[in-house]
Amino acid sequence: MSMRIGYGWDSHAFKPGVPLVIGGLNIQHHSGLAGHSDGDVLLHCITDALLGAVSAGDIGTFFPPSDARWKNAASSIFLKTALEEVATAGYRIVNVDTVLILMAPKIVPIAGDIRASVAELLQIKPGDVGIKAKTPEGLTQDGTVVAHCTVLLESIDAGTELERMAATADIDDSMQTEMDSVVKSLVGDKPLGTGLERKRPTFDTDDIT
């Protein structure tokens, strides 16, 4: 089994009159976050961390600023693409840890809700998601939300998957067929991990999302 880490960072400015969405959760506040998409600063930095962990570029690589399709888009779309890249590379998430830096609103009362939302989007347990918040003491960024994120991935081991399936069911012909399908989906015609070697087109990676 191999492991990889990823790191992401993003910032968005507050903008009056738009919904505030953090971690896929709609939050009551007088301002939302400006952005080409829904401005979900937390999902953007998690997306970058996931893509970085499998060396697949960044959010701007997949969703270039010039593409009007992503205007007002839900950022869960970006996250879903990153999850697909992680799976294609032969990895899965172990855990995610995040820090939000903002003056308001207070995150502590809603951290559990944000954690549940992020966990659901990432298809992992809430206990594998860290949501922390800091106020920007000494920094002149009261009108901005900054997010940092680290992720840890582990390689999907075909043998482990088969052991798990064998442990939970009697193996008959249909199960054997399913197991063969799992092995093929995991391994394909090449050894695990070759997805990391795939080449990605290079775009201007300015992050307008």
Interface positions, 2-21, toward Mg ion (CB under 5 A): 10
In sequence order, what are the beta bridge partners of 97? Answer: 130, 150
Using the rule CB under 5 A, is 148 a contact of Mg ion? no
Type of residue found at 13: A
Question: Of 53 and 147, which CB lies nearer to Mg ion in the complex structure?
Answer: 147
Question: Of 150 and 209, which CB lies nearer to Mg ion in the complex structure?
Answer: 209
Question: Of 114 and 192, which CB lies nearer to Mg ion in the complex structure?
Answer: 114
Q: How far is the CB of 44 from Mg ion (least distance, A)?
A: 4
Whether the Cβ atoms of residue 12 and residue 35 lie closer than 8 Å to each other = yes
Interface positions, 63-102, toward Mg ion (CB under 5 A): none
Question: Of 61 and 209, which CB lies nearer to Mg ion in the complex structure?
Answer: 209
- CA-nearest of 55, 129, 126 to 96 is 129
Side by side, the strands of the sheet bearing 3-16 are: 31-33, 3-16, 144-155, 91-101, 129-134
**Which of 4, 44, 115, 148 touches Mg ion (CB under 5 A)?**
44
Whether the Cβ atoms of residue 145 and residue 11 lie closer than 8 Å to each other = yes
Residues at the contact surface with Mg ion, assessed by CB under 5 A: 10, 44, 209
